[in-house]
Chain A
Amino acid sequence: MFGGVFIKNKAMCKYLAILGLLIVILVNCMELYSGESLFAIDTNNMLSFNSFNLVFITVAMVCTLIFFLLSGSDIEKVGANVSEYFALIFFVLCGVCLAATFNTLLILFIGIEIISIPLYILTGSDKRNLKSNEAALKYFLMGAFSTGIMLMGIAFLYGGNPEGSFYISSLNAGQGKMPVMIAIGLVFMLIAMSFKVSAVPFHFWTPDVYDGAPAVFTSFMATIVKIGGFIAFIRLFENSFGSVQPQWQLLIAIITAATLFIGNLTAVFQQSVKRMLAYSSIAQAGFMLLSIFALNEAAKEGLILYAAAYSLATIGLFAILIKMEDYTIEGFNGLGKKQPVLAVTATVFLLSLTGIPLTAGFQSKFYMLMAAVRDGHHQWLVIFAVLCAAISAYYYFKIIQAMFFKEVSLNTTSNNLLLASAETTSTFRGLLIFIAILIIVLGLFPWLLTDWLHYQ
């Protein structure tokens, strides 16, 4: 389950990585299915494995697997140190697992750091590119800052709780008003976690970093890392601060609304698809924040579903984007004619991100809205969220329009498309179709995923 797989052989590393990941997923599923743990490792109750965490880890790993399969060859193109890239990604994955299973604040901190540090390196992995370097530095400075805030938050929580322990459950005591120390700690944790999931107003690093990093790693960051941040977020807030939810709910509501609003509105004005996806990932984070706002059964099911739906669609979109030379929306003009498979699958992904029925994206948005409505407080947020979802249709559909209804302009773009057509192999197209089908199947039968939560 803690896959820090080191691979020496450069040519083989991709296949080895895929194989290693497959084994880990298999073990994970077996544990999930049998309902008892296969390895009895004494972690001093610092890690907890329940069905929610395990399902989540499985989702993250399956997404990584698909990511490897789709973009593995593109990782090889980024630079010379291929095996390092894979190793770093596995480190991140290990961090995601820790973030999904932590039981004490210390493990949470370690998990978040294991996620972050390799990412700083990956962002800057395109060493010759100034933009990539700038992004890495920016990310590192901002990330270090948020780490500091998180540590301070942990210190406050440690000092403030009567039992004086790092276990998150010990924080969850009593219904009454929070002590000041705990309250300060909570706000600090909130800021740090918001930074990690790029919620407004802590989102400023996101567009630059996503834009500057090599597109393959952006794809990874925007999906698996982001949902990893969310799982930590919801687990922390549910287990530590669940009983005092009314006291911080308004804060989350405001952050959610701001995230939805800024993310969607800014995405509308982007010309580069890569940058647009960065803003759209902020907007989607806003929807996922609804689960933390609501913190109920539907919210947890919804978050899992959302994580899967969002990651699959985004990974697929990025895989297609990488094949394009021109990252602007005009670069997509006429794709429907040149590359019908790419265009049709991209349409499914975009529809899923918009939340059109029959796709997993609809089901996940639906669960989120339901969770928020069920919560019963701050109902304006729900209306606000759907209006923002309507805005998101605007920019997602601009790409669909470009692909199908616009002709290729007669400059360099047409050459790029020709280039693209040479690069896509039939395996690549087959995988895209597979993801699209997976999205539709999840859209029709979301219980294929959510029912796993009821096994234990």
Chain B
Amino acid sequence: MLGNFITLPHLLIFFPLIAGVIAFFIKSDSGVRGWSVLASLLTLAVSLSTLIYKDNLELNGLAYNYEWLKYMGASFSVSLDGLGRVLTFLTAFSFPVILIATYRNVYPRSNVFYGLMLLSQAGLMGVFLATDALLFYFFWELALIPVYFLCSRWGGERRIAATFKFFIYTFTASLLMLVGIIYVYLHTAGTPFSDHSFSIQAFHTASLTPTQQSWLFWLFFVAFAVKMPVFPFHTWQPDTYEQSPTAVTMVLSGIMVKMGVFGLIRWVLPIFPAAVLQFENVVIGLSVVGMIYASLIAIRQDDLKRLVAYSSIAHIGLISAAVFTRQQVALEGVMIQMFSHGVNIIGLWIVIDVIEKKLGVRKISQLNGIAHRAPVLTIILVIIALANIALPLTNAFVGEFMMFTGLFKFNGWYAAFAGLSIILAAVYTLGMIQKIFYGETNELTAEMSDISFNQKLVLGLLVLAIFFAGIYPQPFFEITKDSVAAIVTRFK
């Protein structure tokens, strides 16, 4: 479509990359902000255009392959299938939202901040687009590095220790995955130039015995589980979310978390089917335990950021359980839920950021009666919160309903226990709203004012997305149907 050399995946990766590098050299503070918002909007435009095409990837310029390390069988191979399309769209959609919502935040050395933000976007895009295992690993790590610097430089008081924990956790797990990748690679068929190949097609047909699969499965799974995070690999997450600057927390929770889920769907399910069948009960069990555990902790949290962090662990638990049911309906639910979770949690962070910037605290016990001062904010938050507990008409309802259907088909007991977490979610989310927004205003909250135009715009957009996906989710299914079916059939 755009010629043989520049394809849409290229644009999605290199546009933020180049924009990020340019951003480093923009000295003026407002200039770099404007530039990065503009760049992210342009990326969004590119991403929107990718949603139009459905089939015939090569012909439409949605896939590209360049022999990168010829004698190794590694290539720069990217393609936009259904899974990739949803997640690149989430990435492209989230970044302008995040950047506009935090537009008023002032950062020292803002050129570096925005440059790193855009670089992390490029890394994320690469993760969702890569169809070559080595390339995937490349981007997987590359997305991590800018985030490490962002958190350590602009985060809260205990940022260095918290970020370091996060970094060591994910880096160790990723290295284990690298060993796994190499092992699978050595069991693949070759290309004309090399004995083996890193391409995903070769990985699908790799000849692995069930025993090999079962330990390779864990090498990959741990890397993805740390990123998501699944219980018991979640201990880095609340600290990191709490200590990161809010814009980065949004990236972490809205998008980076999905790298793990996406990794499971794209790399673990199709490549190790035998191991998945073997361990599915373990993983679903862990996920369900994690859901209930995280929900219970969330109820007891006083810090808003930590509350949302634990609520996110609970939601991701359901997603990872649904992934391992291997049902068409559950996986389609996962795809839409990944998008919805991203939208909802970014919305929640924006609201928390507004409160923290205006009042300087985010302790639930110190906040009261904000609704009197900020009615628009309240309405929006209530909508987002209702989406967070998956009420009908909101986006999360569609996804969670489908995932529960899949889980129920798989095993009723899991669904029953997982259902508990929905009730718990209602407890902590509604409890938070009650305490913060209703009741009498106290001295602190009396100074609260309503949100600015930028924030109204962004939050309005998110609310729109919530209702759109809640009422008319069909377009999502159209996009993901075929890719999901391809994965499900590998188990038949």
Contacts and interface: CB of A to CB of B under 8 A. Distances in A.
Residue in A357, A373, A387, A390 whose Cβ sees the most chain B Cβ within 10 Å = A357
Contact of A446 (B69, B160, B171): B69
A169 B246 CA distance: 64
B138 A369 contact: no
B21 interface: no
A389 interface: yes
Interface in A354-374: 356-358, 362, 366, 369-370, 373-374
B153 A404 contact: yes
Interface in B171-222: 171-172, 175-176, 178-179, 182-183, 185-186
A404 B152 contact: yes
Given A393-B168, A404-B149, A405-B160, A358 B175 contact: no
Contact of A401 (B134, B152, B171, B175): B152
Given A401-B160, A447-B69, A374 B186 contact: yes
B118 to A, nearest CB: 16
A394 interface: yes
Contact of A386 (B70, B160, B164, B178): B178
Contacts of A362: 141
B175 A390 contact: yes
Given A357-B141, A401-B152, A404-B149, A382 B172 contact: no
B71 interface: yes
B168 A389 contact: no
B53 interface: no
A382 B142 contact: no
Nearest to A374: B186
Contacts of B183: 373
Contacts of A390: 168, 171-172, 175
Contacts of B172: 386-387, 390
B464 to A, nearest CB: 38
A397 B167 contact: yes
Interface in B415-460: none
Contact of B179 (A382, A404, A405, A454): A382
B137 interface: yes
A373 B138 contact: no
A180 interface: no
B145 interface: yes
Contacts of B138: 357-358
A404 to B, nearest CB: 6
A383 interface: yes
Interface in A401-456: 401, 404-405, 446-447, 450-451, 454
B152 A405 contact: yes
Interface in B123-150: 134, 137-139, 141-142, 145, 149
A192 interface: no
Contacts of A454: 71
A373 B179 contact: yes
Contacts of B69: 446-447
Size bin of chain B's contact surface: 20 to 34
A351 interface: yes
A383 B167 contact: no
B176 A386 contact: yes
A383 B137 CA distance: 17
A447 B176 contact: no
Contacts of B167: 393, 397
A401 B142 contact: no
Contacts of A447: 69-71
Interface string A369-400: 11001100000001100110110011001000
Given A357-B141, A386-B179, A397-B167, A373 B186 contact: yes
Nearest to A394: B168
Nearest to B69: A447
Given A357-B138, A374-B186, A447-B70, A401 B164 contact: yes
B137 to A, nearest CB: 7
A373 B179 CA distance: 8
Interface in B399-419: none
A404 B149 CA distance: 9
Contacts of B186: 370, 373-374
Interface in B83-142: 134, 137-139, 141-142
Contacts of A358: 138, 142
A265 to B, nearest CB: 15
A369 B152 contact: no
A134 B186 CA distance: 49
A219 B171 CA distance: 28
A369 B175 CA distance: 10
A397 B176 CA distance: 19
A356 B141 contact: yes
A351 B71 CA distance: 26
A357 B68 CA distance: 14
A369 B182 CA distance: 8
A405 B70 CA distance: 40
Contacts of A369: 178-179, 182
Nearest to A298: B72
Contacts of B168: 390, 393-394
Given A358-B138, A373-B182, A393 B153 contact: no
A374 B72 CA distance: 13
B242 to A, nearest CB: 17
Contacts of B178: 366, 369, 386
A370 B137 CA distance: 14
A389 B175 contact: yes
Contacts of A351: 145
Nearest to A447: B69
Contacts of A366: 134, 178, 182
B101 to A, nearest CB: 25
B145 A356 contact: yes
Contacts of A356: 141, 145
B182 A370 contact: yes
Given A393-B167, A394-B164, A405-B160, 10 more contacts: A357-B142, A369-B178, A373-B186, A387-B172, A390-B172, A390-B175, A393-B168, A394-B168, A401-B160, A405-B152
Interface of B: 69-71, 134, 137-139, 141-142, 145, 149, 152-153, 159-160, 164, 167-168, 171-172, 175-176, 178-179, 182-183, 185-186
Interface of A: 351, 356-358, 362, 366, 369-370, 373-374, 382-383, 386-387, 389-390, 393-394, 397, 401, 404-405, 446-447, 450-451, 454
11 contacts: A357-B137, A366-B178, A373-B186, A386-B175, A386-B179, A387-B175, A390-B168, A397-B164, A404-B152, A405-B152, A447-B69
Q: Shortest 7 CB-CB distances between A and B: which pairs? A: A390-B172, A386-B175, A357-B138, A357-B141, A373-B182, A370-B182, A405-B152
